[in-house]
């Protein structure tokens, strides 16, 4: 058996054009040995979920600064369930008011990281939540 690197999709949904934080997180995850698929700016929930299915990811991370988190996260979760990947952890970050975090978690978002969260905390969460995956090496 050979270890397979964790595959993490990082996405920027909606009209928010600020992606520096998403790129910093993507780099930190790569530096931690994960394979990162970054979807780029202004992705629809449909595009995000389609990419997650196509790339066979272990987790989806979404960065939202636009204030549309109460619409975008539930739509992504709905599409994930429809596409049969509802068991993949969806985590997020950005400007999300404290009072909305319990509502998002109740809806199915696995974890929310607000400004000030460390890269080490995000990496540790992913490693703990998703763990290392392995697959049989081709003979």
Confidence band for 47, pLDDT divided at 50, 70 and 90? very high
pLDDT for 1 = 53
CB-based contacts of 65: which residues, under 8 Å, 6+ apart? Answer: 16, 18, 21, 94, 95
Q: Rounded to an integer, what distance in angstroms lies between the CA atom of residue 45 and that of residue 64?
A: 12
The two beta strands, 133-135 and 2-4, are antiparallel
Q: What is the mean pLDDT of the chain?
A: 92
Whether 137 shows a pLDDT value over 90: the answer reads no
């Amino acid at each position: 058996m050979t270890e397979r690197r964790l595959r993490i999709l990082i996405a920027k949904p909606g009209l928010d054009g600020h992606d520096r934080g998403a790129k910093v997180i993507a780099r930190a995850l790569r530096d931690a040995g994960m394979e990162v698929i970054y979807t780029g700016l202004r992705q629809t929930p449909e595009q995000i979920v389609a990419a997650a299915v196509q790339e066979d990811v272990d987790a989806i991370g979404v960065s939202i600064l636009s204030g549309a988190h109460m619409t975008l996260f539930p739509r992504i979760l709905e599409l994930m369930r429809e596409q049969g990947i509802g068991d993949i952890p969806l985590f997020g970050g950005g400007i999300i008011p404290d009072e909305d975090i319990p509502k998002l978690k109740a809806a199915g978002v696995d974890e929310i990281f607000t400004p000030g969260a460390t890269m080490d905390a995000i990496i540790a969460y992913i490693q703990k939540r998703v763990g290392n995956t392995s697959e049989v090496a081709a003979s």
